[in-house]
């Protein structure tokens, strides 16, 4: 798994390093139970796990834009165990939708919709999940879950085969910005349309390889794992997620777009 390191140029001279939770793994989590997260997707590049994602309709998977790295992208669905030797349900990506100006996680718009080459056949091991709509907000302090195949600590060399999940609480946006500014003096502002959760005042959070995965509150996905500071040693600054409610209209519009 690769870590995306984002260099932020704040003031002309200072650089700051942030790691996108590309494939960021779950820290202090546990194996996800078989009858949960059946909508979880492993977004793979050259048949290697790169990022998490989740199935929102039989043909569409949502993930993070920064997961779009060079190579052949496929999506594995329907299993918590992504050991390569197994006979996995692998889908080709027919189309990728991103918001036009995606440049880096710190600029925001870290969201990507993948259209699969064929409809996934839903069943006991494969389900779709609802995403939050534009009229709703998550309150700070809400207990949610994040899942992924990422590293379980920063020093691990790779992620895990068995899906991990952990509880995280959402953090007030102003408190989140303050915590980031305090740790990284040069950060003037975090991107718009984000939710902060986990990694802060608690020892759980996302790590490398978890990027693109879902933040699930009350059975609805509200966020996409986007970035964290360079360490997965929690508590630290809060992990940052893309706020799906701000993009739900865009998602619907892309899903309704006719084939050309």
The contact set with ligand NAG (CB under 6 A) reads: 45-46, 69-71
Q: Would you call 117 a catalytic residue per the annotation? A: no
Residues 6+ apart with CB under 8 A from 37: 80, 147, 163, 165
* Closest CB to ligand NAG among residues 51, 222: 51
* Residue 126, CA atoms < 13 Å, CB-side half-sphere: 19
The one catalytic residue in 169, 211, 226, 245 is: 211
Of 75 and 132, CB closest to ligand NAG: 75
CA distances from 118 to 42, 73, 138, 144, 254 (A): 16, 15, 33, 31, 17
Q: Closest approach of Cβ 1 to ligand NAG, in Å?
A: 9
Nearer to ligand NAG, 21 or 132 (CB): 21
Let me know if 66 is a catalytic residue.
Answer: yes
In the complex, minimum distance from the CB of residue 151 to ligand NAG, in angstroms, rounded to a whole number: 16
Distance CA 24, CA 88 (A): 22
Look up 110 and say whether it is catalytic.
Answer: yes
Residue 89: exposed, middle, or buried by beta-carbon count in 10 A (0-12, 13-18, 19+)?
A: middle
At closest approach, how far in Å is the CB of 69 from ligand NAG? 5
- Cβ distance to ligand NAG smaller for residue 70 or 100: 70
Which residue numbers are catalytic? Answer: 66, 110, 211
């Amino acid at each position: 798994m690769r870590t995306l390191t984002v260099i932020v140029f704040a003031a002309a001279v200072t650089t700051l390093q942030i790691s996108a939770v590309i494939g960021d793994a779950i820290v202090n989590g546990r194996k996800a139970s078989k009858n949960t997260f059946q909508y979880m997707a492993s977004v793979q590049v050259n048949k290697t796990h790169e990022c998490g994602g989740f199935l929102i309709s039989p043909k569409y998977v949502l993930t993070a834009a920064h997961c779009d790295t060079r190579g052949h992208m496929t999506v594995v669905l329907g299993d918590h165990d992504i050991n390569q030797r197994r006979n996995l349900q692998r889908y080709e990506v027919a189309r990728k939708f991103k918001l036009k100006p995606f440049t880096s996680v710190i600029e925001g718009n870290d969201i990507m919709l993948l259209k699969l080459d064929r409809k996934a056949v839903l069943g006991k091991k494969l389900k779709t999940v609802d995403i939050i709509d534009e009229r709703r907000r998550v309150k700070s302090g809400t207990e949610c879950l994040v899942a992924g195949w990422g590293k379980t600590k920063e020093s691990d060399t790779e992620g895990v085969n068995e899906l991990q999940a952990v509880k995280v609480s959402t953090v007030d946006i102003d408190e989140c910005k303050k915590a980031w500014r305090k740790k990284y003096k040069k950060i003037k502002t975090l991107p718009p349309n984000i939710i902060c959760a986990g990694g802060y005042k608690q020892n759980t959070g996302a790590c490398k390889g978890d990027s693109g995965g879902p933040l699930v509150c009350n059975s609805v996905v509200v966020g996409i794992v986007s970035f964290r500071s360079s360490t997965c040693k929690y508590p630290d600054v809060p992990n940052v997620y893309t706020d799906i409610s701000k993009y739900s209209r865009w998602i619907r519009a892309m899903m309704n777009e006719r084939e050309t």
